[in-house]
């Protein structure tokens, strides 16, 4: 049977500096990046990948939908709001491949996900994937609506996959972010956090402390990402990162790991095998510029 996966969040216009005064246009966003790589790593006969977001009716929103379809994503969950315009961000990358972002997204239509006029049907999905950036977009009432849907999904046996991708600038306070993230961890079955985010939110001293805290919530499947140090699994196994000759751009490294890990787990791999698969795709991504790379060995599903 085909496993139906729904990623939830925002796809934005990505403007990447190729020089001080030149930019290249793309489309990206953390959960979108994971959805794209998950689709590339799996067969449509085995895994259907949909993307739930809200877009405008402008040419850039049309371009985002075209990019989704080109990657083989199901765009039916994405609706369009007349007069709205998608968010955008600019990316600068330093000599070590580390990136910095400047965002323009306060009026993004994705901020109206799960608002009073938006009631998407999540009942047909086997896996729901989201991040703290998804939560960051939403109003308090919309977060509660989403949490209700996730609780119903868990009750019927679906997986909730969560990455606490914490970006302080997008939250009112760290306390608000901590509480929003904590409430989703309570519903999570596959946890894919980054240690530095959990340290910032919960004060964890080590990846092991993060693992222990999440395991204490009853989460059975955990991979705590720690950059070049690799990741730590639910059973305490440490899986080293895959070496790379040079790091060009770390954008979407964690998103790619999540896709590789989830694709392998959905295919029946054990957590250690899945972690190695996650590290392998992350190594490919950081060796090229941009969130969504061009690689003949990793072609878009839709082509």
What's the half-sphere exposure (Cβ side, CA atoms, 13 Å) at 33?
29
Q: Are strands 99-104 and 88-93 parallel, antiparallel or unpaired?
A: antiparallel
First to last CA, the chain: 23
| Residue 156, burial from CB neighbour count under 10 angstroms (0-12, 13-18, 19+) | exposed
Structure tokens at 134: 């998804």
3-state secondary structure of 250: coil
3-state secondary structure of 26: strand
Active-site annotation holder among 163, 204, 221, 255 = 255
Sheet with 99-104, strands from edge to edge, namely: 23-28, 12-17, 88-93, 99-104
Structure tokens at 230: 């690799």
15's CB contacts (< 8 A; 6+ apart) are 23, 24, 25, 26, 88, 89, 90, 91
Structure tokens at 76: 């039916």
117 is an active site residue: no
| Residue 121, burial from CB neighbour count under 10 angstroms (0-12, 13-18, 19+) | exposed
The H-or-E segment that residue 28 falls in is strand 23-28
Q: Which residues are catalytic?
A: 255
């Amino acid at each position: 049977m085909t496993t139906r996966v729904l990623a939830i969040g925002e796809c934005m216009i990505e403007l990447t500096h190729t020089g001080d005064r030149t930019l290249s246009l793309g489309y990206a966003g953390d959960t979108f990046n994971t959805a794209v790589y998950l689709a590339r790593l799996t067969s449509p006969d085995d895994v259907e990948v949909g993307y739930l977001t809200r877009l405008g009716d402008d040419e850039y929103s049309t371009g985002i939908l075209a990019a989704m379809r080109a990657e083989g994503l199901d765009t039916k969950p994405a609706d369009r709001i007349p007069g709205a315009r998608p968010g955008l961000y600019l990316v600068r990358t330093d000599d070590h491949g580390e990136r910095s972002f400047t965002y323009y997204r306060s009026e993004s239509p994705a901020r109206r996900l799960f608002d009073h006029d938006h009631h998407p049907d999540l009942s047909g999905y086997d896996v729901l994937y989201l991040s703290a950036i998804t939560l960051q977009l939403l109003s308090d009432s919309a977060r509660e609506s989403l949490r209700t849907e996730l609780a119903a999904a868990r009750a019927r046996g679906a997986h909730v996959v969560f990455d606490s991708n914490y970006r302080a600038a997008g939250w009112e306070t760290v306390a608000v972010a901590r509480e929003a993230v904590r409430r989703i961890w309570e519903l999570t079955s596959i946890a894919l956090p980054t240690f530095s985010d959990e340290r910032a939110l919960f004060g964890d001293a080590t990846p092991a402390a993060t693992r222990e805290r999440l395991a204490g919530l009853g989460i059975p499947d955990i991979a705590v990402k720690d950059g070049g140090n690799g990741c730590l699994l639910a059973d305490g196994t440490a899986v080293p990162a895959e070496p790379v000759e040079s790091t060009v751009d770390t954008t979407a490294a964690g998103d790619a790991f999540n896709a590789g890990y989830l694709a392998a787990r959905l295919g029946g791999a054990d957590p250690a095998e899945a972690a190695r698969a996650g590290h392998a795709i992350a190594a490919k991504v950081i060796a090229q510029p941009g969130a969504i790379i061009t690689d003949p060995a990793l072609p878009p599903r839709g082509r």
